[in-house]
Amino acid sequence: MTNYANDVLVETDWLAEHAKDPNVRVFEVDVDTNAYDQGHVAGAVGLNWRTDLQQHPVRDLLDKDQLEGLLSKQGVTPSTTVVAYGDNNNWFAAWFFWLLKYYGHKDVKLVNGGRAKWIAEKRPLSNDTPSYSKSEYRAGTPDASIRALRDHVLEKVVSGNGTKIVDVRSPKEYAGELLAPENLPQEGAQRGGHIPGAQNIPWATAVAEDG
């Protein structure tokens, strides 16, 4: 087993052992919104990033009431260990992880390697949609310290006070050659380029090819 600085990342062995624990709830969040229906970890709840994890039509974060409703439907409580995994190196699973931390959920984990590693190891997939008894989930106060809004970023850029801004998009998006990820052309920015002074550290450099 790989050793990490903390237990936020769990291995597929851990998931296989604990997925059905009563105080564990597993969620699959994929870029490919059809992937879940093709087979998933038994007991995992499928979330659609387009319809479940953002407001419409403004596309902002879920508000507190919306998140509470989403998690209550799946029987999650503040003491539940929430485990997320997905395709594309856990791209939107990591977004779900961050959303939960923003609203103060204490115990959230990501599956190292995500869906790709689970399948590569020939672990079983289920086509059953699980059903859980409803809870009354209560989210915490949003943690503003882990979210930067436009005006805050603009203030830092204008002040030139040494704040470091990291752009995790692909080099072509950073350079303004593309307005969106190549696999999500509809998710384009309104203008090409990057925030002045931002350093490009593509997200893909932080993950391994095996997922």
Domain that holds residue 91: 9-144
Q: Is residue 211 part of a domain?
A: no
Q: What is the pLDDT of residue 5?
A: 60
Chain centre distance of CA 106:
15
The answer to whether residues 90 and 159 belong to one domain is no
Question: Is residue 83 domain-shared with residue 186, that is, in the same domain?
Answer: no
Is this model's pTM higher than 0.85 or not?
yes
pLDDT of 57 reads 85
What pLDDT was estimated at residue 16?
Answer: 98
First-to-last C-alpha distance (Å) of the chain: 15
Cβ pair 80, 107 in contact under 8 A: yes
Low-confidence ranges of the chain (pLDDT < 70): 1-6
If you ran DSSP here, which 8-state letter would residue 130 be given?
P
Q: Which among 119, 71, 126, 93 is positioned nearest to 9, based on CA atoms?
A: 93
Give the pLDDT of residue 4.
62
pLDDT tens by residue, 109-155: 999 999 999 999 999 999 999 999 999 999 999 999 999 999 999 99
pLDDT of 2: 57
Distance CA 31, CA 106 (A): 25
Domain edge (last residue) among 144, 161, 190: 144
Residue for token pair 């995500």: 114
Q: What DSSP assignment string belongs to 47-105? A: EETTTTSS-TTT-----HHHHHHHHHTTT--TT-EEEEE-HHHHHHHHHHHHHHHHTT-
Q: Are residues 57 and 92 in the same domain?
A: yes
Q: Is 211 helix (H, G, I), strand (E, B) or coil?
A: coil
Q: State both tokens at 165.
A: 């801004």
Q: Read off the tokens for 196.
A: 């002045």
Return the CATH number at 201. Answer: 3.40.250.10
Q: Are residues 18 and 47 in the same domain?
A: yes
How much is the pLDDT for 10?
96
Nearest alpha-carbon partner for 109 in 209, 205, 23, 204: 23
Q: Does 152 lie in the same domain as 140?
A: no
Query: Are 153 and 176 contained in the same domain?
Result: yes
The answer to whether residue 2 sits within a structural domain is: no
Count of domains in the chain?
2
Q: Is 138 in a helix, a strand, or coil?
A: coil
For residue 153, the SS3 value is helix
